[in-house]
């Protein structure tokens, strides 16, 4: 089976895509369809040196994909005749049903749709993306790769919320965790870099992008993660608060007269760094801090405080830690966050070499001194490649 895979990540108003060889990781083309359903949409498509931009109304996902597939043709890549082996879809919530890459059939698609109750902001968009691709490329096998899958191994003590057990069971309320594809990918890459099997290593992974999560990985198996039943729990994120006293929600509904969608809007779009400082982008936050902005500084301090709280929790859970891994936009690019997250922990064997931390090189790098007992690594994530490999493996089996 050809190792060429088209990977799609469909959001509510956007679709990210990449066409790549899953063996060599060579990317033939990639692009982003944005502002679907709005007055004016945009597609940016890149294939080698060619960059095509489309500006115009994109009424729905299928229209956006159809236009993007034309742009593939315009750059000499006809998706129907290229010999693509599979289409891999990122699907956010697999619930208790899916914890392995899964070939998409009508039944599977229906089950993913049913899981929309657990992820109303994500799964419906994933379903629309899958339906559109199936219509446009009906002859290709389509594979769903779930963001929750890697955390399926969490023990009951980590995944159970202490609420009425009958209600929790009836409503499927438990910790599922997200960003699993990235946590798994970077922890495997870290093991490769350290020249040891993942089974022999305990790792703490910080995936710090717009969304952010940490995980505690014992011998290659995830035993805890910060995100919960939804991607709202845990670390402070660009626009989400992470951990919050659950009493705040009913309080706000009463005191500030917010309804369900008002609360959802507040917690998903207007909290986190944005809620505290007005900006959700970390680079902008850093610029504000440099101008002496007190709100931005507090946002940064809250962000780092939360990272350290989970670092402490996971150090205790694991007992011994071999590697601490930073990944995603902030994790890969902010030396300040890495240094502040791990400051003052020399007695625990955790140390950062300031020069290594500041030196930017592509690929995986160690930022701890050679003598430090705990390896601190920066590992670029590549969720598209991980999805492509999972999809190729499934259809080749």
Stretch that binds ligand ADP, among 41-49, 78-86, 301-309, 323-331 (CB under 6 A): 323-331
CA dist list (Å): 346 to 322, 342, 343, 373: 14, 9, 8, 10
**238 is a site residue for ligand ADP (CB under 6 A):** yes
Candidates 2-10, 44-52, 53-61, 324-332; binding stretch for ligand ADP (CB under 6 A): 324-332
Q: How far is the CB of 48 from ligand ADP (least distance, A)?
A: 22
Binding residues for ligand ADP, rule CB under 6 A, total: 12
Q: Which of 36, 143, 194, 328 binds ligand ADP (CB under 6 A)?
A: 328
d(CA 211, CA 60): 25
Residue ranges for the known binding site for Mg(2+) are 9, 383
Task: State the Cα–Cα distance between residues 10 and 60, nearest whole angstrom.
Answer: 12
Specify binding-site residues: 9, 16, 90, 207-211, 281-283, 329-333, 383
Binding mask 249-288 toward ligand ADP (x if CB under 6 A, else -) reads --------------------------------xxx-----
Rounded to a whole number of angstroms, the minimum distance from the CB of residue 387 to ligand ADP is 14
Least distance CB 396 / ligand ADP (angstroms): 28
Q: Is 375 part of the annotated catalytic residue set?
A: no
Helix/strand/coil for 115: helix
Residue numbers in the known binding site for substrate are 90
296 part of the interface to ligand ADP, by CB under 6 A: no
Of 102, 216, 225, 334, the residue at the interface with ligand ADP (CB under 6 A) is 334
User: What is the contact mask toward ligand ADP in residues 206 to 235, using x (rule: CB under 6 A)?
Assistant: ---xxx------------------------
Report if residue 242 touches ligand ADP, rule: CB under 6 A. Answer: no
Q: What is the largest CA-CA distance in the chain?
A: 60
Distance CA 133, CA 174 (A): 31
Alpha helices (H) along the chain: 61-74, 106-114, 123-136, 156-159, 165-170, 180-194, 248-255, 260-269, 272-277, 282-290, 294-318, 328-333, 335-341, 354-358, 383-396
- For residue 118, the SS3 value is coil
String of DSSP letters for 6-42: EEEEE-SS-EEEEEEETTT--EEEEEEEE-TTSSSEE
Q: In this chain, which stretch among 59-67, 96-104, 113-121, 326-334 interacts with ligand ADP, using CB under 6 A? A: 326-334
Binding residue (CB under 6 A) for ligand ADP from 13, 160, 317, 333? 333
Q: How far is the CB of 310 from ligand ADP (least distance, A)?
A: 18
Q: Which long-range contacts (CB under 8 A, 24 or more apart) does 72-81 make?
A: 72/19, 72/29, 72/45, 72/47, 75/29, 75/45, 75/47, 75/48, 75/50, 76/47, 77/19, 77/28, 77/29, 77/47, 79/6, 79/19, 79/137, 80/137, 80/139
Q: Give me the least distance between CB of 207 and ligand ADP, in Å please.
A: 8
Task: Select 177 or 209, whichever has its Cβ closest to ligand ADP.
Answer: 209
The span from the CA of 65 to the CA of 134, in Å, is 11
- Catalytic member of 147, 224, 322, 375: 147
Nearest-angstrom CA–CA distance, 124 and 112: 8
Q: What are phi and psi of 23, to 5 degrees?
A: -75, -55
CA distance 141 to 103: 7
Closest separation between CB of residue 28 and ligand ADP, Å? 21
Comparing CB distances to ligand ADP, the nearer of 123 and 181 is: 181
210 is written with which tokens? 């717009």
* Nearest residue to the partner ligand ADP, using Cβ: 329
Q: Which range in 30-38, 70-78, 149-157, 205-213 contacts ligand ADP by CB under 6 A?
A: 205-213
> Contact residues for ligand ADP (CB under 6 A)?
209-211, 238, 281-283, 328-330, 333-334
Which residue numbers are catalytic? 147
């Amino acid at each position: 089976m050809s190792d060429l895979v088209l990977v799609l990540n469909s959001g509510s108003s956007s679709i990210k895509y990449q066409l790549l060889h899953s063996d060599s990781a060579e990317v033939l083309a990639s692009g982003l369809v944005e502002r679907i359903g709005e007055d004016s949409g945009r597609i940016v498509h890149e294939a080698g040196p060619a960059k095509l931009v489309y500006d115009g109304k994109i009424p729905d996902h299928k229209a956006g994909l159809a236009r993007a597939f034309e742009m593939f043709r315009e750059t000499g890549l006809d998706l129907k005749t290229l010999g693509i082996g599979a289409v891999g879809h990122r699907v956010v919530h697999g619930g208790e049903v899916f914890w392995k890459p899964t070939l998409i059939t009508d039944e599977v698609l229906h089950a993913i749709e049913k899981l929309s109750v657990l992820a109303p902001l994500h799964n419906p968009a994933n379903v629309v993306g899958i339906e559109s691709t199936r219509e446009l490329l009906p002859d290709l096998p389509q594979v769903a790769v779930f963001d929750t899958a890697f955390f399926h191994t969490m023990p009951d003590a980590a995944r159970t919320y202490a609420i009425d057990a009958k209600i929790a069971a009836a409503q499927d309320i438990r910790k599922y965790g997200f960003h699993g594809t990235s946590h798994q990918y970077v922890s495997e890459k870290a093991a490769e870099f350290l020249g040891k099997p993942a089974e022999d290593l305990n790792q703490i992974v910080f995936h710090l992008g717009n969304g952010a999560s940490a995980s505690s990985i014992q011998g290659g198996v995830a035993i805890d993660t910060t995100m919960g039943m939804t991607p709202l729990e845990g670390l402070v994120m660009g626009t989400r608060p992470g951990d919050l006293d659950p009493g705040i929600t009913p309080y706000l509904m009463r005191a500030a007269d917010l309804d369900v969608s008002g609360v959802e809007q507040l917690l998903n779009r207007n909290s986190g760094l944005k809620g505290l400082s007005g900006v959700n982008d970390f680079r902008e936050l850093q610029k504000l801090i440099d101008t002496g902005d007190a709100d931005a500084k507090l946002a940064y301090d809250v962000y780092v405080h939360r990272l350290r709280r989970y670092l402490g929790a996971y150090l205790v859970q694991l007992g011994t830690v071999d590697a601490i891994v930073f990944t995603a936009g902030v994790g890969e690019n902010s030396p300040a966050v890495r240094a502040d997250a791990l400051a003052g922990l020399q007695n625990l064997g955790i140390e950062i070499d300031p020069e290594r931390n500041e030196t930017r090189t592509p690929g995986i790098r160690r930022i701890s001194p050679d003598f430090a007992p705990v390896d601190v690594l920066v590992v670029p994530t590549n969720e598209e490649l991980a999805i492509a490999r999972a999809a190729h493996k499934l259809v080749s089996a």
